[in-house]
Amino acid sequence: MRQAPKTDYDPIPKGHLHEYSLFGEIKKNNPKYLEAYKKAGPDVKGYLPFDKAFDLVKEFQPGDPTNPKAAFLRNLRIAVIDALGLTEDADVERVKAYTAVGSPLDHWHSADAVIEVESTEKGQRSFRITLDATLDEKKEGRPSGADILIGELPDELDDKKKYLDAIDELGKRIATILKSKQSKINLKEG
């Protein structure tokens, strides 16, 4: 079979489209983002430690982390809240969902998104669960930098119930990890 000549066109990899469709992305071309990134002190390869990379993600989040722009991330946050049994507004507001797609957190720490539950105690650190979306079946089942690997999901348009059930299952998995660390984040029993 003959092949078309190579061009400068570089299609977006399917994996990146999957991440973007689930979580949205950080706008890396924003001059304020670029300035904050440089100020954070990346090494010559662009590496930032996890906490600095997460601070950058939080500062340049495209929207409200209690109501993320990306529908999947918004629904996943709700599924986590439901699985944790949180009903009080103050508790619900402590659960945040952040996209990290395209950021150093994604590139260096395999975290496409982060679910964070803020502590109720002043001075105590919040607890975070990192998520990595992949369509690479070889990656599934292998250790990742993320706490939870998200593979291919049912198509929402083909079968909305299966899609929402998959989100609920992910929410339960995240809640299980959070509950195992309950003493650190002061969650109520659900």
* pLDDT tens digits, 57-102: 999 999 999 999 999 999 999 999 999 999 999 999 999 999 999 9
State which residues form the domain around 82.
Answer: 14-185
Say how many domains are in the chain.
1
Which pLDDT score, from 0 to 100, does residue 141 have? Answer: 53
Average pLDDT over residues 153-175: 94
Is the residue at 139 inside a domain? yes
Is the residue at 34 inside a domain? yes
Q: Are strands 95-99 and 113-117 parallel, antiparallel or unpaired?
A: antiparallel
Which positions ≥6 away from 172 have C-beta within 8 Å? Answer: 79, 83
* Cβ–Cβ under 8 Å, residues 99 and 24: yes
pLDDT tens digits, 15-55: 568 888 899 999 888 999 999 999 998 898 989 999 999 99
pLDDT beyond 60 at 7: no
Is the residue at 109 inside a domain? yes
Is the residue at 9 inside a domain? no
Q: How far is CA 12 from the centre of its chain?
A: 20
Is the residue at 102 inside a domain? yes
